[in-house]
Amino acid sequence: MRRDVAERLLDAEAEVERAELRVRLAQAKAEQARCRVEKLRARTQRNEARRKIVLGSVILLAPPEAYEEVLSELLPLMRESDRALVTSSSEGDNHRRDTQRKAILGGAFITAARDRGDFRELLNTLIRCLERPHDIALFKGWTL
C-alpha cells in the first residue's frame, strides 16, 4: 500500500513538473508574440509618419496657386502652433522643421480626405502621381 502511494506521489510530482514546463514554454511564446506585436506597431507608426511626409512634400511642390488653395482649406484643420509652423518661411529652415512642416501638411490632408470627398479624390490622384518606388510602396494597400 505504501509503495502504491509513493508511486502515485512520484507520478503526481512528475506531472507537476511537466505542467510547469508547459507553462514556462507558453510564457516564452507569449513574450515572443508581444515583441512581434510591438515591432509591427512601431513599423505601422513609422509608415504612417512617412505617408504624411510624402504627401506634405507633394503639396509643398505643387504650383503656387494650387498650394495656396489647398493650404487655405487645410489651415482651419490645424492647431494654432502647427499653422504658425506651416505658414512660416521655409527659407533657411533646418531639415527637422521642414520635415515637421511636411508631416503637418500631410496629416491635415489625410484628415481632410477622411471627411471630404473632394480631398479623397485629390489624395488618390496624388498617390497615383508618386514616382519613387518606396513612396508608392507606402500607399500600396493603404486605405483611409
Kindly indicate the confidence band of residue 89, based on its pLDDT and cuts at 50, 70 and 90. low
Instruction: Give me the pLDDT at residue 98, please.
Output: 86
Instruction: Give me the pLDDT at residue 92, please.
Output: 62
* SS3 assignment, position 62: coil
Instruction: Specify the pTM.
Output: 0.68
Find out whether 102 and 56 touch, Cβ atoms under 8 Å. Answer: yes
Instruction: Give me the pLDDT at residue 20, please.
Output: 96
Instruction: Give me the pLDDT at residue 11, please.
Output: 92
